[in-house]
């Protein structure tokens, strides 16, 4: 029998404690699946001012631990709890100056904050008495952990292996070389740092890619895309250097929590067998949003960070000419927020702009929509389309990254002969408003004129298995191959 692997996952966000995007969902939902496969997996994140200590039953387990960082001694406390509904330990690093604010990401100084966090991850291991076989780092925030492990100062931790997961290659963490001091590093500590520093700054993502044992990203298509100049965000050549250690593993979702049969946040529960009840969720949503309540008109939903990545430029005024309603929920860049508010003001019967972060309303949108829109410019994995299919909404998405890997395209059909066996949505290739409109029109045509086909598309989506089971096994295989190497 192989011994159980010990895995420590380090991330800037973990749901339900603190979340800005899909990263939090992934780090909060993959570990229970790994635990079921026999891993001793534990998590670690910073303790932000916004983490609800009472609700999540955090306990302080160590006080006033002194961390030596850039010639200073900085005191931290360690708190601990478990993931709700799973026996997975979660550690939190409390350090008021760095993490005391409510927001996960500060306006400035993130490189320093997260390098300090990365340093503590290694320094507290003896305190929490955990000696992981593998540290699994997520995104640029923890991308310097492999560097820290490679420097001479840590002979005891030398054999710990690292996995680095890229959730989004566009957030790279560039910073002045000065910041390295925080991690007791300098540009001479490693060859990769020396080289990286030649242009005057350090790129955290580059370090993670070059120094981690294995690199993964969150879909197979995105793994291919980031090795190209279009999607590589200027790191395609760095990615190519590590191509043989790069794997695409599709994210899963928490199928228990996101379950239309049991979800407590939606108006009426339903399943693929009792799909007609879904309509009540639509009528409820239309009323709540002040859109005309009409079960016969198609409702198109979007739940998204309002960022460049998400293709909001393609949501143009022309869409108001289509026979459907739109609801868009999310926050982000001001120009997109404004654009959506203007549309909603001008076409109150067609557009509803919900500029906020609201996890409950998000579920009401998945359950109340007929169509779910994701016109992303790029999309490493995307979770929204999976939630939508789980709730019987039909995705219309751009064929990129994880969207291409999860939505089976209905394609062009001349006749309606036979029902689609696998198709669960509609995909378009060109990043243009007209390509989006074209696809949306095709979807609306099926919605209004081919009800049996439409029903089958929804059922096909609802039957897909988006659980972590398969992907957790793929991670385990990688962990094992790494831990076997010395
Ligand atoms: C990022 C990506 C998104 C992915 C998520 C989790 O937010 O933009 O596509 O689903 O990370 O991996």
**409 burial via Cβ count (<10 Å: 0-12, 13-18, 19+):** middle
What lies within 8 Å, CB to CB, of 405 at 6+ separation is: 219, 220, 221, 250, 381
CA of 411 to the centre of ligand 1 (A): 26
Q: Check residue 208 and give left, alpha or beta (phi > 0: left; psi -120 to 50: alpha).
A: alpha
| CA angle at 281 for the pair 274 and 316, rounded to the nearest 5° | 120
| CA angle at 379 for the pair 21 and 406, rounded to the nearest 5° | 105
Are the beta carbons of 180 and 392 closer than 8 angstroms?
no
Question: What pLDDT sits at residue 485?
Answer: 55
User: Looking only at Cα atoms, what is the longest distance across the chain?
Assistant: 73
Backbone φ, ψ for residue 65 (5° rounding): -85, 135
- Classify domain 6-252+468-483 by CATH number: 3.40.50.2000
Ligand 1 is surrounded, with C-beta below 6 A, by 21-23, 26, 167-168, 218, 251, 379-383, 402
Give the CA distances from residue 49 to residues 20, 209, 219, in Å, rounded to whole numbers and listed in that order.
14, 31, 33
- What are 384's two structure tokens? 């929204």
Regions of the chain with pLDDT less than 70: 1-2, 412-417, 485-486
Instruction: Supply the residue whose CA is at minimum distance from atom 5 of ligand 1.
Output: 22
Sheet of 214-217, strands arranged across: 59-69, 72-82, 89-94, 40-46, 6-10, 134-138, 161-166, 214-217, 246-248
Q: Is 176 helix (H, G, I), strand (E, B) or coil?
A: strand
Dist. CA 339–CA 379, nearest whole Å = 22
| In 272-370, beta strands by DSSP E | 298-303, 324-329, 351-354
Give the CA distances from residue 402 to residues 221, 228, 462, 466, in Å, rounded to whole numbers and listed in that order.
6, 16, 17, 12
The domain ranges of the chain are 6-252+468-483, 275-463
Question: What pLDDT sits at residue 81?
Answer: 98
Mutate-to-test residue for ligand 1 from 165, 168, 233, highest number of ligand atoms within 8 A of CB:
168
- What are 288's two structure tokens? 């709540």
Instruction: Supply the residue whose CA is at minimum distance from atom 3 of ligand 1.
Output: 382
Give the residue from 115, 94, 111, 16 showing the smallest Cα distance to 48. 94
Question: What pLDDT sits at residue 1?
Answer: 45
Q: Tens of pLDDT along 265-324? A: 999 999 999 999 999 999 999 999 999 999 999 999 999 999 999 999 999 999 999 999
CA of 8 to the centre of ligand 1 (A): 20
379 Cα nearest atom in ligand 1? 9
Dist. CA 371–CA 445, nearest whole Å = 12
Q: Tens of pLDDT along 375-400? A: 999 999 999 999 999 999 999 999 99
CA of 13 to the centre of ligand 1 (A): 12
**Topology annotation, domain 275-463:** Rossmann fold (3.40.50)
Q: Is 228 helix (H, G, I), strand (E, B) or coil?
A: coil
Do 6-252+468-483 and 275-463 show the same overall fold?
yes
Question: What pLDDT sits at residue 419?
Answer: 85
DSSP state of 181: G
Are the beta carbons of 146 and 164 closer than 8 angstroms?
yes
CA of 381 to the centre of ligand 1 (A): 5
Question: What pLDDT sits at residue 402?
Answer: 98
Dist. CA 70–CA 88, nearest whole Å = 33
Question: What pLDDT sits at residue 486?
Answer: 42
218 Cα nearest atom in ligand 1? 12
DSSP string for residues in 96-158: HHHH-SS-SS-SS-HHHHHHHHHHHHHHTHHHHT---SEEEEETGGGTTHHHHHHSTT-GGGT
Dist. CA 30–CA 200, nearest whole Å = 37
DSSP state of 423: -
């Amino acid at each position: 029998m192989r011994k159980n692997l010990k895995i420590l996952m380090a991330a800037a966000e973990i749901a339900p404690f603190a979340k800005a995007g899909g990263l939090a969902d992934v780090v909060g939902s993959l570990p229970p699946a790994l635990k079921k496969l026999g891993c001793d997996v534990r998590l670690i994140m910073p303790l932000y001012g916004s983490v609800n200590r009472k609700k999540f039953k955090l306990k302080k387990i160590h006080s006033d631990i002194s961390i030596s960082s850039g010639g200073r001694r900085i005191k931290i406390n360690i708190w601990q709890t478990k993931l709700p509904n799973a026996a997975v330990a979660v550690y939190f690093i409390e350090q008021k100056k760095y993490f005391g604010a409510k927001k996960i990401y500060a306006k400035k100084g993130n490189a320093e904050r997260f390098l300090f966090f990365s340093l503590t991850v290694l320094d507290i291991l003896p305190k929490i008495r955990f000696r992981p076989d593998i540290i699994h780092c997520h995104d640029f925030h923890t991308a310097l952990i492999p560097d820290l492990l490679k420097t001479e100062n840590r002979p005891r931790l030398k054999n710990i292996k690292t996995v680095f997961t890229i959730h989004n290659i566009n957030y790279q963490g560039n910073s002045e070389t000065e910041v390295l001091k925080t991690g007791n590093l300098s540009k001479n500590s490693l060859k990769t740092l020396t080289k990286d520093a030649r242009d005057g700054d350090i790129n955290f993502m580059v370090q993670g890619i070059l120094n981690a044992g294995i690199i993964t990203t969150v879909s197979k298509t995105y793994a291919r895309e980031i090795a190209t100049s279009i999607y590589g965000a200027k790191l395609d050549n760095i990615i190519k250097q590590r191509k043989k250690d790069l794997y695409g593993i599709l994210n899963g979702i928490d199928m228990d929590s996101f379950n239309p049969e049991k979800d407590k946040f939606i108006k009426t529960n339903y399943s693929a067998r009792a799909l007609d009840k879904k309509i009540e969720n639509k009528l409820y949503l239309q009323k709540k949003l002040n859109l005309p309540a009409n079960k016969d008109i198609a409702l198109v939903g979007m739940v998204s960070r309002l960022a460049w990545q998400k293709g909001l430029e393609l949501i143009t005024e022309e869409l108001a000419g289509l026979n459907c309603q739109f609801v868009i929920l999310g926050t982000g860049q001001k120009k997109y927020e404004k654009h959506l508010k203007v549309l909603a003001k001008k076409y109150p019967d067609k557009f509803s702009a919900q500029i906020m972060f609201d996890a409950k309303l998000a579920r009401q949108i998945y359950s109340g929509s007929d169509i779910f829109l994701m016109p992303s410019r790029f999309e490493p994995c995307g979770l929204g389309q999976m939630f939508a299919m789980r709730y019987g909404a039909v995705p219309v998405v751009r064929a990129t990254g994880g969207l291409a890997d999860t939505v089976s395209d209905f394609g062009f059909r001349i006749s309606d002969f036979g029902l689609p066996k696998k198709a669960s949505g509609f995909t378009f290739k060109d990043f243009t408003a007209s390509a989006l409109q074209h696809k949306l029109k095709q979807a609306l045509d099926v919605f209004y004129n081919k009800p049996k086909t439409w029903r089958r598309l929804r059922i096909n989506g609802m039957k897909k298995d988006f659980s972590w089971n398969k992907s957790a096994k793929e991670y385990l295989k990688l962990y094992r191959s790494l831990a076997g190497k010395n």
